[in-house]
Copies of this chain bind each other. A is one copy, B any other.
Amino acid sequence: MRKILAEILTIGDEILYGQITDTNSQWMSAELDKLGIKVVRKTTVADTEQDILTAFEEAESRADIVLITGGLGPTNDDLTMPMLAKHFNSEIILNNDVLEHVRDFFERRGRVFTEMNRNQALVPKVAEVIHNDLGTAPCTWYERNKKVFVSMPGVPYEMKNLMTTKVLPKLQTTFQTPVIYHKLIKTVGIGESFLADKIKDWEEALPAHISLAYLPSVGHVKLRLTAVGQNKDTLAREVQGLIDGFLAIAGKYVYGYDGMTLEKAIGEMLIEKGKTIALAESCSGGYVQHKITSIAGSSAYFQGGVVPYHNDHKVNLLGVKEETLAEHGAVSEACVKEMAEGVRKAFGAEIGASSSGIAGPGGGTEEKPVGTVWIAYADENQTIAKKLQLTKNRILNIELTEIALLNLVRKSLTD
Protein backbone atom coordinates (compact mmCIF):
# COMPACT_ATOMS: atom_id res chain seq x y z
CA MET A 1 0.00 0.00 0.00
CA ARG A 2 1.32 3.44 -0.89
CA LYS A 3 2.28 5.52 2.12
CA ILE A 4 0.19 8.67 2.69
CA LEU A 5 2.62 11.57 3.04
CA ALA A 6 2.03 14.69 5.11
CA GLU A 7 3.79 17.98 5.71
CA ILE A 8 3.34 20.29 8.67
CA LEU A 9 3.57 23.99 8.02
CA THR A 10 3.78 26.53 10.82
CA ILE A 11 3.31 30.18 10.01
CA GLY A 12 4.65 32.86 12.29
CA ASP A 13 7.56 35.19 12.93
CA GLU A 14 7.32 34.53 16.67
CA ILE A 15 8.51 30.95 16.13
CA LEU A 16 11.25 31.93 13.67
CA TYR A 17 12.52 34.54 16.11
CA GLY A 18 12.60 31.93 18.86
CA GLN A 19 10.10 33.73 21.07
CA ILE A 20 7.73 30.82 21.43
CA THR A 21 8.36 27.10 21.18
CA ASP A 22 6.41 25.15 18.63
CA THR A 23 4.90 22.27 20.57
CA ASN A 24 2.09 21.76 18.07
CA SER A 25 4.07 20.04 15.36
CA GLN A 26 5.38 17.27 17.60
CA TRP A 27 1.87 16.48 18.78
CA MET A 28 0.54 16.56 15.21
CA SER A 29 3.35 14.28 13.98
CA ALA A 30 2.64 11.74 16.68
CA GLU A 31 -1.09 11.73 15.92
CA LEU A 32 -0.52 11.31 12.18
CA ASP A 33 1.98 8.54 12.88
CA LYS A 34 -0.73 6.64 14.78
CA LEU A 35 -2.86 6.64 11.61
CA GLY A 36 0.04 5.39 9.51
CA ILE A 37 0.41 8.78 7.81
CA LYS A 38 4.08 9.62 7.34
CA VAL A 39 5.28 13.15 8.03
CA VAL A 40 8.03 13.88 5.51
CA ARG A 41 8.76 17.48 6.34
CA LYS A 42 8.08 20.19 8.87
CA THR A 43 8.52 23.79 7.87
CA THR A 44 8.18 27.09 9.68
CA VAL A 45 7.93 30.23 7.56
CA ALA A 46 7.66 33.95 8.25
CA ASP A 47 4.53 36.11 8.13
CA THR A 48 5.34 37.30 4.62
CA GLU A 49 3.24 36.70 1.52
CA GLN A 50 5.91 35.24 -0.74
CA ASP A 51 7.32 32.86 1.88
CA ILE A 52 3.88 31.49 2.66
CA LEU A 53 2.93 31.04 -1.00
CA THR A 54 6.22 29.30 -1.83
CA ALA A 55 5.81 26.99 1.15
CA PHE A 56 2.27 26.09 0.01
CA GLU A 57 3.52 25.25 -3.49
CA GLU A 58 6.49 23.20 -2.29
CA ALA A 59 4.40 21.26 0.20
CA GLU A 60 1.68 20.55 -2.35
CA SER A 61 4.27 19.17 -4.77
CA ARG A 62 5.58 16.66 -2.23
CA ALA A 63 2.80 15.63 0.12
CA ASP A 64 -0.78 14.34 0.06
CA ILE A 65 -1.75 16.24 3.19
CA VAL A 66 -0.60 19.71 4.25
CA LEU A 67 -1.50 20.73 7.80
CA ILE A 68 -1.08 24.44 8.48
CA THR A 69 -1.19 26.23 11.82
CA GLY A 70 -0.97 29.91 12.69
CA GLY A 71 -1.52 33.26 11.02
CA LEU A 72 -5.27 33.36 11.64
CA GLY A 73 -5.58 36.29 14.04
CA PRO A 74 -7.64 39.38 13.19
CA THR A 75 -4.68 41.71 12.58
CA ASN A 76 -2.94 42.70 9.36
CA ASP A 77 0.10 40.52 9.92
CA ASP A 78 -2.10 37.42 9.85
CA LEU A 79 -1.80 36.26 6.25
CA THR A 80 -2.81 32.61 6.14
CA MET A 81 -6.36 33.14 4.84
CA PRO A 82 -5.51 35.59 2.02
CA MET A 83 -2.59 33.39 0.94
CA LEU A 84 -4.78 30.28 0.91
CA ALA A 85 -7.27 32.19 -1.24
CA LYS A 86 -4.46 33.14 -3.62
CA HIS A 87 -3.03 29.61 -3.70
CA PHE A 88 -6.42 28.12 -4.54
CA ASN A 89 -7.39 30.98 -6.90
CA SER A 90 -10.38 31.77 -4.77
CA GLU A 91 -11.95 34.99 -3.57
CA ILE A 92 -12.36 35.88 0.09
CA ILE A 93 -15.93 35.96 1.34
CA LEU A 94 -17.61 36.73 4.63
CA ASN A 95 -18.84 33.49 6.17
CA ASN A 96 -22.00 34.22 8.12
CA ASP A 97 -21.81 31.12 10.30
CA VAL A 98 -18.32 32.06 11.43
CA LEU A 99 -19.38 35.67 11.93
CA GLU A 100 -22.28 34.56 14.13
CA HIS A 101 -19.96 32.29 16.10
CA VAL A 102 -17.36 35.02 16.66
CA ARG A 103 -20.02 37.55 17.67
CA ASP A 104 -21.59 35.02 20.00
CA PHE A 105 -18.17 34.09 21.41
CA PHE A 106 -17.58 37.71 22.37
CA GLU A 107 -21.08 38.29 23.69
CA ARG A 108 -21.04 35.25 25.94
CA ARG A 109 -17.86 36.63 27.49
CA GLY A 110 -19.38 40.08 27.87
CA ARG A 111 -16.77 41.55 25.54
CA VAL A 112 -17.35 44.14 22.83
CA PHE A 113 -17.30 42.86 19.26
CA THR A 114 -15.26 45.26 17.10
CA GLU A 115 -14.87 45.76 13.36
CA MET A 116 -11.48 44.07 13.54
CA ASN A 117 -13.02 40.88 14.93
CA ARG A 118 -15.12 40.65 11.75
CA ASN A 119 -11.91 39.81 9.90
CA GLN A 120 -11.93 36.36 11.46
CA ALA A 121 -15.06 35.53 9.48
CA LEU A 122 -13.34 36.19 6.13
CA VAL A 123 -12.54 32.86 4.48
CA PRO A 124 -11.68 31.70 0.94
CA LYS A 125 -14.86 30.83 -0.97
CA VAL A 126 -13.41 27.46 -2.00
CA ALA A 127 -12.84 26.42 1.62
CA GLU A 128 -14.95 24.01 3.62
CA VAL A 129 -15.29 25.59 7.06
CA ILE A 130 -14.83 23.34 10.08
CA HIS A 131 -16.31 24.82 13.22
CA ASN A 132 -13.86 25.75 16.00
CA ASP A 133 -15.77 25.28 19.26
CA LEU A 134 -13.04 26.69 21.47
CA GLY A 135 -11.98 29.86 19.69
CA THR A 136 -12.76 32.49 17.09
CA ALA A 137 -10.37 31.52 14.27
CA PRO A 138 -12.10 29.04 11.92
CA CYS A 139 -10.55 25.82 10.68
CA THR A 140 -10.69 25.47 6.87
CA TRP A 141 -10.31 22.42 4.61
CA TYR A 142 -9.28 22.44 0.90
CA GLU A 143 -9.15 19.64 -1.67
CA ARG A 144 -7.49 19.75 -5.09
CA ASN A 145 -6.10 16.93 -7.23
CA LYS A 146 -6.61 14.40 -4.42
CA LYS A 147 -4.52 16.52 -2.08
CA VAL A 148 -5.79 18.08 1.12
CA PHE A 149 -4.82 21.33 2.86
CA VAL A 150 -6.10 22.03 6.37
CA SER A 151 -5.59 25.39 8.09
CA MET A 152 -5.95 25.53 11.87
CA PRO A 153 -5.38 28.09 14.61
CA GLY A 154 -2.00 27.90 16.35
CA VAL A 155 -3.44 28.00 19.88
CA PRO A 156 -2.58 24.48 21.07
CA TYR A 157 -5.84 23.50 22.78
CA GLU A 158 -7.93 24.79 19.87
CA MET A 159 -5.76 22.92 17.35
CA LYS A 160 -5.78 19.69 19.39
CA ASN A 161 -9.55 19.77 19.80
CA LEU A 162 -10.04 20.38 16.08
CA MET A 163 -7.58 17.64 15.11
CA THR A 164 -9.00 15.04 17.49
CA THR A 165 -12.69 15.61 16.91
CA LYS A 166 -12.76 16.63 13.26
CA VAL A 167 -9.60 16.74 11.15
CA LEU A 168 -8.09 13.31 11.92
CA PRO A 169 -11.39 11.41 11.42
CA LYS A 170 -11.94 13.30 8.15
CA LEU A 171 -8.41 12.44 6.96
CA GLN A 172 -9.04 8.77 7.74
CA THR A 173 -12.14 8.70 5.57
CA THR A 174 -10.61 10.82 2.79
CA PHE A 175 -7.46 8.69 2.52
CA GLN A 176 -7.06 4.93 2.63
CA THR A 177 -5.11 4.65 5.87
CA PRO A 178 -3.80 1.17 6.77
CA VAL A 179 -5.12 -0.80 9.76
CA ILE A 180 -2.87 0.06 12.67
CA TYR A 181 -3.50 -0.68 16.32
CA HIS A 182 -1.63 1.13 19.07
CA LYS A 183 -1.56 0.54 22.78
CA LEU A 184 0.38 2.64 25.28
CA ILE A 185 1.47 0.98 28.52
CA LYS A 186 2.13 3.63 31.16
CA THR A 187 4.66 3.00 33.90
CA VAL A 188 6.03 5.00 36.81
CA GLY A 189 8.71 4.36 39.40
CA ILE A 190 11.29 2.66 37.16
CA GLY A 191 13.89 4.12 34.77
CA GLU A 192 13.99 3.33 31.06
CA SER A 193 17.13 1.19 31.08
CA PHE A 194 16.05 -0.83 34.14
CA LEU A 195 12.70 -1.52 32.54
CA ALA A 196 14.38 -2.48 29.25
CA ASP A 197 16.59 -4.97 31.13
CA LYS A 198 13.62 -6.44 32.96
CA ILE A 199 11.52 -7.05 29.82
CA LYS A 200 14.38 -8.03 27.48
CA ASP A 201 13.17 -11.59 26.79
CA TRP A 202 9.56 -10.48 26.37
CA GLU A 203 10.63 -7.76 23.92
CA GLU A 204 12.79 -10.09 21.84
CA ALA A 205 9.88 -12.52 21.47
CA LEU A 206 7.53 -9.91 19.92
CA PRO A 207 6.19 -11.00 16.50
CA ALA A 208 7.45 -9.17 13.39
CA HIS A 209 4.23 -7.21 12.80
CA ILE A 210 4.20 -5.77 16.32
CA SER A 211 6.83 -3.22 17.32
CA LEU A 212 7.75 -1.61 20.61
CA ALA A 213 8.89 1.98 21.25
CA TYR A 214 10.12 3.50 24.51
CA LEU A 215 8.75 6.98 25.16
CA PRO A 216 10.40 8.33 28.31
CA SER A 217 9.32 11.59 29.93
CA VAL A 218 10.00 13.18 33.32
CA GLY A 219 9.35 10.50 35.97
CA HIS A 220 7.48 8.19 33.60
CA VAL A 221 8.23 5.64 30.88
CA LYS A 222 5.56 4.93 28.30
CA LEU A 223 5.79 1.89 26.05
CA ARG A 224 3.98 1.93 22.73
CA LEU A 225 3.03 -1.31 21.05
CA THR A 226 2.21 -0.83 17.36
CA ALA A 227 0.56 -3.64 15.42
CA VAL A 228 0.03 -3.53 11.66
CA GLY A 229 -2.35 -5.95 9.94
CA GLN A 230 -5.72 -6.52 8.29
CA ASN A 231 -8.18 -6.50 11.14
CA LYS A 232 -8.36 -4.22 14.16
CA ASP A 233 -10.03 -6.78 16.50
CA THR A 234 -7.44 -9.45 15.73
CA LEU A 235 -4.63 -6.96 16.36
CA ALA A 236 -6.25 -5.82 19.62
CA ARG A 237 -6.49 -9.42 20.86
CA GLU A 238 -2.87 -10.13 19.97
CA VAL A 239 -1.69 -6.98 21.73
CA GLN A 240 -3.75 -7.80 24.82
CA GLY A 241 -2.06 -11.22 24.99
CA LEU A 242 1.35 -9.52 24.90
CA ILE A 243 0.30 -7.06 27.60
CA ASP A 244 -0.74 -9.93 29.87
CA GLY A 245 2.81 -11.24 29.50
CA PHE A 246 4.22 -7.80 30.26
CA LEU A 247 2.09 -7.45 33.41
CA ALA A 248 3.43 -10.74 34.75
CA ILE A 249 6.95 -9.29 34.59
CA ALA A 250 6.53 -5.57 35.36
CA GLY A 251 2.89 -5.11 36.37
CA LYS A 252 3.64 -3.24 39.57
CA TYR A 253 4.94 -0.25 37.63
CA VAL A 254 1.88 0.00 35.36
CA TYR A 255 -0.74 2.62 36.28
CA GLY A 256 -2.75 2.54 33.09
CA TYR A 257 -3.02 2.56 29.31
CA ASP A 258 -3.35 5.11 26.51
CA GLY A 259 -4.81 8.40 27.79
CA MET A 260 -4.66 7.41 31.46
CA THR A 261 -2.74 9.73 33.77
CA LEU A 262 -1.41 8.97 37.23
CA GLU A 263 -3.80 11.46 38.85
CA LYS A 264 -6.75 10.00 36.98
CA ALA A 265 -5.77 6.44 37.89
CA ILE A 266 -5.66 7.40 41.56
CA GLY A 267 -9.03 9.10 41.24
CA GLU A 268 -10.55 5.90 39.85
CA MET A 269 -9.00 3.84 42.64
CA LEU A 270 -10.38 6.21 45.27
CA ILE A 271 -13.87 6.14 43.74
CA GLU A 272 -13.78 2.34 43.58
CA LYS A 273 -12.72 2.09 47.23
CA GLY A 274 -15.11 4.86 48.32
CA LYS A 275 -12.31 6.82 49.97
CA THR A 276 -11.40 10.51 50.05
CA ILE A 277 -8.01 12.19 50.19
CA ALA A 278 -6.50 15.41 51.57
CA LEU A 279 -3.07 16.91 50.82
CA ALA A 280 -0.50 18.86 52.81
CA GLU A 281 2.12 20.18 50.42
CA SER A 282 5.10 22.19 51.44
CA CYS A 283 7.83 21.90 48.79
CA SER A 284 5.43 20.85 46.03
CA GLY A 285 3.53 24.11 46.70
CA GLY A 286 0.06 23.03 45.59
CA TYR A 287 1.15 21.22 42.42
CA VAL A 288 -0.18 17.81 43.53
CA GLN A 289 -3.55 19.37 44.39
CA HIS A 290 -3.55 21.11 41.01
CA LYS A 291 -2.97 17.77 39.25
CA ILE A 292 -5.70 16.05 41.27
CA THR A 293 -8.24 18.84 40.67
CA SER A 294 -7.44 19.02 36.96
CA ILE A 295 -9.48 15.79 36.69
CA ALA A 296 -13.19 16.32 36.08
CA GLY A 297 -15.22 14.88 38.95
CA SER A 298 -12.34 15.02 41.45
CA SER A 299 -14.62 16.69 44.00
CA ALA A 300 -16.04 13.20 44.59
CA TYR A 301 -12.82 12.10 46.33
CA PHE A 302 -10.69 15.20 46.93
CA GLN A 303 -11.58 16.87 50.24
CA GLY A 304 -9.02 19.63 49.89
CA GLY A 305 -5.63 20.51 51.24
CA VAL A 306 -3.14 22.93 52.67
CA VAL A 307 0.08 24.50 51.48
CA PRO A 308 1.71 25.28 54.85
CA TYR A 309 4.71 27.07 53.34
CA HIS A 310 5.72 28.52 56.69
CA ASN A 311 6.34 26.24 59.65
CA ASP A 312 3.81 28.06 61.87
CA HIS A 313 1.04 26.78 59.64
CA LYS A 314 2.32 23.21 59.83
CA VAL A 315 1.77 23.52 63.58
CA ASN A 316 -1.47 25.55 63.63
CA LEU A 317 -3.35 23.88 60.80
CA LEU A 318 -1.96 20.35 60.81
CA GLY A 319 -0.94 19.78 64.39
CA VAL A 320 2.74 19.13 63.64
CA LYS A 321 4.51 19.24 67.02
CA GLU A 322 6.83 22.15 67.82
CA GLU A 323 9.30 19.58 69.21
CA THR A 324 9.32 17.69 65.89
CA LEU A 325 10.26 20.85 64.01
CA ALA A 326 12.85 21.82 66.64
CA GLU A 327 14.42 18.36 66.77
CA HIS A 328 14.24 17.15 63.15
CA GLY A 329 13.38 20.24 61.09
CA ALA A 330 10.54 20.55 58.57
CA VAL A 331 12.31 18.39 55.98
CA SER A 332 12.23 15.15 57.95
CA GLU A 333 10.50 11.81 58.21
CA ALA A 334 8.83 12.79 61.48
CA CYS A 335 7.46 16.05 60.07
CA VAL A 336 5.97 14.64 56.82
CA LYS A 337 4.37 11.81 58.79
CA GLU A 338 2.72 14.27 61.19
CA MET A 339 1.67 16.42 58.22
CA ALA A 340 0.02 13.47 56.45
CA GLU A 341 -1.73 12.34 59.63
CA GLY A 342 -2.69 15.91 60.49
CA VAL A 343 -4.18 16.81 57.12
CA ARG A 344 -6.15 13.55 57.08
CA LYS A 345 -7.70 14.54 60.40
CA ALA A 346 -8.19 18.25 59.58
CA PHE A 347 -10.12 17.44 56.40
CA GLY A 348 -11.93 14.35 57.66
CA ALA A 349 -10.44 12.27 54.83
CA GLU A 350 -9.60 8.56 54.84
CA ILE A 351 -6.20 9.29 53.31
CA GLY A 352 -3.65 12.03 53.92
CA ALA A 353 -0.54 12.68 51.84
CA SER A 354 2.24 15.20 52.34
CA SER A 355 5.51 16.63 51.04
CA SER A 356 8.30 18.67 52.59
CA GLY A 357 11.65 19.36 51.00
CA ILE A 358 14.21 21.78 49.68
CA ALA A 359 13.17 22.63 46.13
CA GLY A 360 16.04 25.06 45.63
CA PRO A 361 17.95 26.88 44.39
CA GLY A 362 18.44 28.30 47.91
CA GLY A 363 17.92 26.70 51.32
CA GLY A 364 20.24 23.71 51.04
CA THR A 365 22.65 22.64 53.78
CA GLU A 366 25.44 20.05 53.88
CA GLU A 367 23.17 17.60 55.70
CA LYS A 368 20.09 18.41 53.58
CA PRO A 369 21.24 19.61 50.16
CA VAL A 370 18.88 21.10 47.55
CA GLY A 371 16.77 18.23 46.21
CA THR A 372 16.25 16.54 49.60
CA VAL A 373 12.52 15.78 49.83
CA TRP A 374 10.37 13.72 52.21
CA ILE A 375 6.91 12.48 51.23
CA ALA A 376 4.33 10.57 53.29
CA TYR A 377 1.05 8.66 53.05
CA ALA A 378 -1.32 8.07 55.96
CA ASP A 379 -4.55 6.12 56.35
CA GLU A 380 -6.36 4.55 59.31
CA ASN A 381 -3.95 1.61 59.43
CA GLN A 382 -0.55 2.96 58.54
CA THR A 383 1.72 5.93 57.88
CA ILE A 384 4.51 5.47 55.33
CA ALA A 385 7.27 7.98 54.58
CA LYS A 386 9.85 8.02 51.82
CA LYS A 387 12.97 10.09 51.24
CA LEU A 388 13.81 11.35 47.74
CA GLN A 389 17.13 12.74 46.62
CA LEU A 390 16.27 14.84 43.58
CA THR A 391 18.02 17.47 41.44
CA LYS A 392 19.29 21.03 41.75
CA ASN A 393 16.48 22.34 39.50
CA ARG A 394 13.48 23.83 41.35
CA ILE A 395 10.84 23.26 38.68
CA LEU A 396 12.00 19.69 38.07
CA ASN A 397 12.07 18.98 41.82
CA ILE A 398 8.45 20.14 42.16
CA GLU A 399 7.41 17.89 39.28
CA LEU A 400 9.36 14.85 40.52
CA THR A 401 7.92 15.29 44.04
CA GLU A 402 4.41 15.38 42.59
CA ILE A 403 4.97 12.15 40.63
CA ALA A 404 6.62 10.36 43.55
CA LEU A 405 3.85 11.39 45.97
CA LEU A 406 1.07 10.32 43.62
CA ASN A 407 2.92 7.05 43.03
CA LEU A 408 3.24 6.50 46.79
CA VAL A 409 -0.54 6.95 47.08
CA ARG A 410 -1.10 4.59 44.12
CA LYS A 411 1.10 1.86 45.58
CA SER A 412 -0.46 2.21 49.02
CA LEU A 413 -3.94 1.91 47.53
CA THR A 414 -2.86 -1.16 45.50
CA ASP A 415 -1.43 -3.13 48.41
Contact = CB atoms under 8 A, between A and B. Distances in A.
Contact of A43 (B26, B27, B28, B41): B41
A23 interface: yes
Nearest to A360: B296
A176 B114 CA distance: 44
- The CB with the most chain B CB atoms within 10 A, among A21, A112, A134, is that of A21
Given A294-B394, A309-B303, A313-B304, A18 B39 contact: yes
Contact of A18 (B31, B46, B197, B286): B31
A43 B58 CA distance: 12
Number of copies: 2
A181 interface: no
Contact of A304 (B41, B296, B298, B310): B310
A214 B72 CA distance: 12
A85 interface: no
A149 interface: no
Interface stretch (A103-111, A122-130, A266-274): A103-111
B398 A294 contact: yes
A382 interface: no
A157 B395 contact: yes
B197 A114 contact: yes
A94 interface: no
A290 B293 contact: no
B16 A393 contact: no
Interface residues of A, number: 105
Given A286-B289, A317-B346, A51 B45 contact: no
Given A30-B17, A77-B213, A290-B290, A310 B305 contact: no
Contacts of A16: 29, 38-42
The binding surface of chain A is classed by DSSP as: mixed
Contacts of A292: 285
B14 A18 contact: no
A306 B309 contact: no
Interface string A184-208: 1000000111101100000000000
A293 B305 CA distance: 16
A398 B296 contact: no
A255 interface: no
A320 to B, nearest CB: 13
A250 interface: no
A90 interface: no
A33 B308 CA distance: 43
- The CB with the most chain B CB atoms within 10 A, among A109, A184, A309, is that of A309
15 contacts: A13-B213, A19-B224, A21-B23, A22-B26, A41-B43, A73-B192, A74-B196, A114-B194, A114-B197, A134-B391, A286-B288, A286-B293, A296-B394, A297-B362, A304-B310
